[in-house]
Chains A and B, each alone.
Chain A
Amino acid sequence: MSGAISFLDANLAIDLALLAMLVVLAAAIAMTRKLLAAILLMGVYSLVSAVWLVVMDAPDVAFTEAVVGAGVSTIVLLGAILLTRAEAEKTGWGRLIAPALIAVATGALLVYAALDLPSFGDPTSPANAYVGRTYLEVASRDTGAANVVTAVLASYRGFDTLGETTVIFAAGVGVALALGFGERAAPASRLMAGATGDHNVVLRVAAKLLIPIIALFAFYVQFHGDLGPGGGFQAGVILAVAVILHALVFGLRETMTAVKPSFARGVAALGVLLYSGIGVVCIVNGGGFLDYGHLFTAEIEAQIPPGLLGDPGATHHWGQHFGIFFIELGVLFTVAATMVTIFYGFAGRSPGGEAKL
């Protein structure tokens, strides 16, 4: 057990400390009746868990949790509570008993079962020894991607990711159906007025500089995905953040003329179409659905210059390379466009907007 002990000194301490922080945060959220506080604490919760995820060797997840939890979720939540009562009604103690019982009972079962799991960090546990290990062995050989997570995400379990992209798209559809397409947005919705003074030159200039950089970063994250952490999803969110920032500073109307809601919806749909289209192309070229190995017919494969991705010596998997490239692109489209659509929906419905109509 010496290995575990030495490990305990270093990481486990940090690990447990972070978890303790999370517990405290959760408790705080449960206690507070101020919705704004709850939302902000929620963002903090995401950030802390992101840090914890890094400690757990899951940079991709950490990255995602950060952009989603601290970014998108918070924005959407804020959009939802604009001009509502900031206080939640007090719930009497009597009302807490049943939920507490449910939670305790469920938790007890979980703990009871969890104590039966192999000890934390055990490399020989079934979870770590079987399929997961195999991925580590074969992923880079099969796909040529250094980031095994990306390889599994986009290739081995690419179908899950298609589903995931579809879910995002579905969410966009859902929000657009429920809230409309932001057609009720005001010229300069109160949403921004709150965030900035209306004609804050410094901010505008800063934004003008910032937005391209953010977009650039998004594309870096996008194309760096198969080498390091990152990928279509994170990139998509960041790109959307650029648009949202634009809206915050220059007003929703202006943004909507630049990025039309209909355009956003179309791109979202196109993303999913691109993804599944790749799958169909693989079928047409004689493979299975999403079987990137058959993305290109042999003759096309032959025409690709060996040095295309630098490192001429390396044996290449063009199919896998481009397959992953294209589907990540599809994810980018859908995620970015959907996030924008969702933002339009909420911002357009924000009472500030209505007031001006």
Chain B
Amino acid sequence: MISFETLYAAPLELIKHAPVLLVAGPLMGACAAALAPNSRWAWMISVAASIFAAWMALCVAGEVARKGVVDYAIGGFAPPLGIAFRIDWLSAMMGLLISFISVLAALYSGHALRAEVREEKHGLFQAGFLLCQAGLLGVVSTGDAFNAFVFLEVASIGTYALVALGADRDRRALPAAFNYLIMGTIGATFFVIGVGFLYAATGTLNMADIATRLVTLSDSRAVLAGFAFIVVGLGLKAAMFPLHGWLPNAYAYAPSLIAVFLSATATKAAIYLLARFLFTVFDPGSGFAHLFLVWVLAPLGAIAAIVCSLQAVFEPELRRMLAFSSVAQVGYILLGLSIASLGGMSAGLMHLTAHSLMKAALFMALGGVAILLRARTLADFAGAGRDAPWTMAAFAIAAASLMGLPLTFGFLTKFRLIEAALSANQIWIVAVIAASSLLALIYVGRMLEALFFRTPAPGAARAAEAPLGVLVPLWILAGVSVWFGVDASLPEGLANSGALALLGARP
């Protein structure tokens, strides 16, 4: 359906091993960055490794386009004995998304670090960033339940400390990071417990293998517990309402690079894993999984979409507003998945993509100007639109996408979500989306009014245009949001095949 022929420029040997190089690239890059002599080298390594990963992601997508599913047995041991990557369209899509965002974040990091982090720490910072990237890419590629846990932790451990580095600007980053660590670890441990029960019930760790063996014992209590713990664990990692308490401060006080990267990728990878288990390991049609979709996932998604939007409306600090809206948007995605029809899941996945693009852009724009004026509240940002037109124009575009205005990607995904809900006769979901769109209109309206139609308080610090190193990735993100707003065939194609992969994968 989507043609990646151009990628076959890559040597066949590389394409054959792309699935694992996709992870190994950033991983080795991290080591190199840690060894880098100075900040500049570290940055170049980071960019190079990210670009390499993105290239590999494209190769993998090309392979998936050719074969449907790419299996890669690591160590030459076929599963269930060995660990194997299993990459279908969904994994390929997530890989593309994460690595694409990573490249832009890496480009952005050059400037952001200089402004926010002490020089001698840049090497390690880039290392941490690349480790997180490798971990997330591993999570979306692996076909082994326990291996997924390991990569979740690879992605997390470093980022806890990276969030804490925000303390150089605001000490509130420290409690935020600590809380993030506690919650993240509890989530991961719950996930392990769940996997343990699945292992006890099936004797294997390979997801596909688990799925085949679950068919016979879907009503066992052990499986039920495994399901519950995996869902709660991943819910914590995905900031699924009401398990999102750790997110707002973590995003609000972390260094802007981390806010950009995490908001666009981390929760998304957790959502991916959740969907992977819900739809391909467990049988969504069967008993408790179905009940969960209808009576837990959908209501929670709805509550998140409403409540967290409200919190955003009444929040004075700009970055916290964005963080709350992130939780609300996760609610949209979960609503889409909960519809469990092809249309619904595809819409959910599309919205996932759209949200990554817009949130990355929003945090990047704020970082770009806030670096200079240590602004947090709306009042601090008043009039930034006049002082930094280019930066804030990109912000406005991304914000429009967040509101779901026509000619932006966010509008089309919202369109598809409502359409899917209507086709599934779930009018209440339409009502929820409408209501929370209204709230989004209000809080985004507050932002834009402050940025563009208010004058800064006399004597207040004035924003200045962000440097080119920020504007380039920023405008790429904004541009993509508009491009997909006019022609979303690429993301829709990916999302459709991703949803098909979820629905079609069960034995």
Measured CB to CB, the residues of A under 8 A from B are 109-110, 112-118, 125-132, 134-135, 138, 142, 155-160, 162-164, 166-167, 169-171, 173-178, 265-266, 268-270, 272-273, 276-277, 279-280, 283, 287-294
Q: Which of B32, B81, B121, B220 lies in contact with A134, CB distance below 8 A?
A: B81
- In the complex, the answer to whether A177 meets B201 with C-beta atoms within 8 Å is no
Contact with A along B1-43 (1 / 0, CB 8 A): 0000000000001000100110010011011101100000000
- In the complex, the answer to whether B153 meets A289 with C-beta atoms within 8 Å is no
- In the complex, the answer to whether B82 meets A156 with C-beta atoms within 8 Å is yes
Rank and list the top 7 A-B pairs by shortest CB-CB distance, nearest first.
A130-B203, A174-B161, A113-B225, A126-B203, A291-B76, A163-B150, A116-B221
- In the complex, the answer to whether A116 meets B28 with C-beta atoms within 8 Å is no
- In the complex, the answer to whether B150 meets A269 with C-beta atoms within 8 Å is no
- In the complex, the answer to whether B158 meets A163 with C-beta atoms within 8 Å is no
Known contacts A116-B222, A130-B203: A290-B74 contact under CB 8 Å:
yes
Q: Which of under 10, 10 to 19, 20 to 34, or 35 or more describes the interface residues of B?
A: 35 or more
B154 within 8 A of A: yes
Report chain B residues within 8 Å CB of A131: 80-81, 203-205
B300 within 8 A of A: no
Report chain B residues within 8 Å CB of A129: 203
Q: Which of B428-470 contact A (CB under 8 A)?
A: none
- In the complex, the answer to whether B124 meets A176 with C-beta atoms within 8 Å is yes
Q: Which of A127, A177, A272 lies in contact with B161, CB distance below 8 A?
A: A177
- In the complex, the answer to whether B75 meets A156 with C-beta atoms within 8 Å is yes
Report chain A residues within 8 Å CB of B121: 177
CB distance from B258 to the nearest CB of A (A): 11
- In the complex, the answer to whether B160 meets A174 with C-beta atoms within 8 Å is yes
- In the complex, the answer to whether A177 meets B125 with C-beta atoms within 8 Å is yes
Report chain A residues within 8 Å CB of B336: none
B341 within 8 A of A: no
Report chain B residues within 8 Å CB of A109: 225, 228
CA distance in complex: A158, B280 (Å): 25
B311 within 8 A of A: no
B197 within 8 A of A: yes
CB distance from B451 to the nearest CB of A (A): 33
B73 within 8 A of A: yes
Report chain A residues within 8 Å CB of B72: 288-289
- In the complex, the answer to whether A166 meets B131 with C-beta atoms within 8 Å is yes
Q: Which of B35, B193, B228 lies in contact with A266, CB distance below 8 A?
A: B35
Report chain B residues within 8 Å CB of A176: 124
Q: Which of B23-76 contact A (CB under 8 A)?
A: 24, 27-28, 30-32, 34-35, 72-76
Q: Which residue of B lies closest to A168 (CB)?
A: B157
- In the complex, the answer to whether B203 meets A132 with C-beta atoms within 8 Å is yes
- In the complex, the answer to whether B204 meets A272 with C-beta atoms within 8 Å is no
B371 within 8 A of A: no
CA distance in complex: A44, B359 (Å): 47
Report chain B residues within 8 Å CB of A114: 222, 225
CA distance in complex: A279, B28 (Å): 11
CB distance from A303 to the nearest CB of B (A): 23
Q: Which of B73, B125, B202, B226 lies in contact with A288, CB distance below 8 A?
A: B73
- In the complex, the answer to whether B82 meets A160 with C-beta atoms within 8 Å is no
- In the complex, the answer to whether B222 meets A288 with C-beta atoms within 8 Å is no
Measured CB to CB, the residues of B under 8 A from A are 13, 17, 20-21, 24, 27-28, 30-32, 34-35, 72-77, 80-83, 121, 124-125, 127-128, 131, 134-135, 138, 146-147, 150-151, 153-154, 157-158, 160-162, 164-165, 193, 197, 199-205, 213, 220-222, 224-226, 228
**26 A-B contacts (beta carbon < 8 Å):** A113-B222, A113-B225, A113-B226, A117-B201, A130-B202, A131-B205, A135-B81, A155-B77, A156-B81, A158-B75, A163-B153, A169-B131, A170-B128, A173-B158, A174-B162, A175-B161, A272-B27, A273-B28, A273-B31, A279-B20, A280-B24, A280-B28, A283-B17, A289-B75, A292-B75, A293-B76
CA distance in complex: A1, B73 (Å): 41
Q: Which residue of A lies closest to B28 (CB)?
A: A276
Report chain A residues within 8 Å CB of B213: 126
Report chain B residues within 8 Å CB of A157: 82-83, 147
Q: Which of A167, A288, A292 lies in contact with B17, CB distance below 8 A?
A: A288
Report chain B residues within 8 Å CB of A177: 121, 124-125, 128, 161-162, 164-165
Q: Which of A115, A128, A287 lies in contact with B76, CB distance below 8 A?
A: A287
Known contacts A174-B160, A177-B162: A112-B35 contact under CB 8 Å:
no
Report chain A residues within 8 Å CB of B197: 113
Report chain B residues within 8 Å CB of A173: 34, 124, 127-128, 131, 158, 161
Q: Which of B127, B135, B193, B201 lies in contact with A126, CB distance below 8 A?
A: B201
Report chain B residues within 8 Å CB of A293: 76
Q: Which of A160, A167, A268 lies in contact with B147, CB distance below 8 A?
A: A160
CA distance in complex: A134, B206 (Å): 15
Report chain B residues within 8 Å CB of A175: 161
- In the complex, the answer to whether A167 meets B75 with C-beta atoms within 8 Å is no
- In the complex, the answer to whether B200 meets A279 with C-beta atoms within 8 Å is no
Report chain B residues within 8 Å CB of A110: 193, 225
